[in-house]
Amino acid sequence: MSVALPEPARLHTRDLARTGFEGLRGRPLRAVLSALGITIGVAAMVGLAGISTVSRAGLIADIRALGSNLLAASPGRSLTGQDADLPGTAEGMVGRIPGVTDVSAIGLVSDATVRRNDRINPADTSGIAVHAARDDLLGTLQGTVRSGTFLNAATGRYPAVVLGSVAADRLGIATAGAHVWISGRSFLVIGVLDTLPLAPEIDRSALIGWSYAADLGFRGHPSTLYTRTVQNQISQVYDRLAATINPRNPAEVEVSSPARELEAEAAAEETFDALFLALGAVALLAGGVGVANVMVISVLERRQEIGLRRSLGATRRQIRMQFLTESVTLSTLGGLAGVAVGLAVGAGYALVMGWPMVLPLPSVAGGAGAAVVIGALAGLYPARRAARLTPTEALATA
Express each pLDDT in 55-81 by its tens digit: 777 766 766 666 678 888 999 877 766
Any domain includes 2: no
Asked if the model's pLDDT at residue 11 lies above 80, the reply is no
Spatial neighbors of 356 by CB under 8 A, at least 6 apart, are: 54, 57, 58, 61, 350
Q: Say whether 59 sits in a helix, a strand or coil.
A: helix
- Between 376 and 251, where is the model more confident? 251
304 vs 132: CA distance, rounded Å: 87
- Mean of the per-residue pLDDT values for the chain? 79
130 vs 45: CA distance, rounded Å: 45
Any domain includes 367: yes
192 and 289 both lie in a single domain = no
242 and 284 both lie in a single domain = no
Asked if the model's pLDDT at residue 214 lies above 70, the reply is yes
Asked if the model's pLDDT at residue 145 lies above 90, the reply is yes
Residues facing residue 107 across a β-bridge = 132
82 and 225 both lie in a single domain = yes
Asked if the model's pLDDT at residue 311 lies above 90, the reply is no
Q: What pLDDT score was predicted for residue 190? A: 96
Residue whose C-alpha is closest to residue 71's, from 208, 210, 244, 211: 244
Q: What pLDDT score was predicted for residue 28? A: 60
Any domain includes 173: yes
Residues facing residue 145 across a β-bridge = 193
145 vs 67: CA distance, rounded Å: 18
Q: What pLDDT score was predicted for residue 63? A: 64
The one-letter amino acid at 89: T
Last residue of a domain, one of 258, 291, 322: 258
Last residue of a domain, one of 238, 258, 278: 258
Asked if the model's pLDDT at residue 97 lies above 80, the reply is yes
59 and 74 both lie in a single domain = no
The one-letter amino acid at 17: A
171 vs 183: CA distance, rounded Å: 15
Q: What pLDDT score was predicted for residue 360? A: 74
Any domain includes 1: no
DSSP letter, residue 77: B
238 and 253 both lie in a single domain = yes
Domain count, the chain: 2
390 vs 398: CA distance, rounded Å: 12
Q: What pLDDT score was predicted for residue 15? A: 47
176 and 252 both lie in a single domain = yes
172 vs 114: CA distance, rounded Å: 12
208, with CB counted inside 10 A (0-12, 13-18, 19+), is buried
Containing structural domain, residue 283: 11-63+268-397
**Which of the four pLDDT bands, split at 50, 70 and 90, describes residue 225?**
very high
Any domain includes 194: yes
- Between 258 and 394, where is the model more confident? 258
Instruction: State which of 14-18, 165-169, 349-353 shows the largest mean pLDDT.
Output: 165-169
57 and 75 both lie in a single domain = no
141 and 28 both lie in a single domain = no
pTM of the model: 0.58
Asked if the model's pLDDT at residue 10 lies above 50, the reply is no
Q: What pLDDT score was predicted for residue 169? A: 95
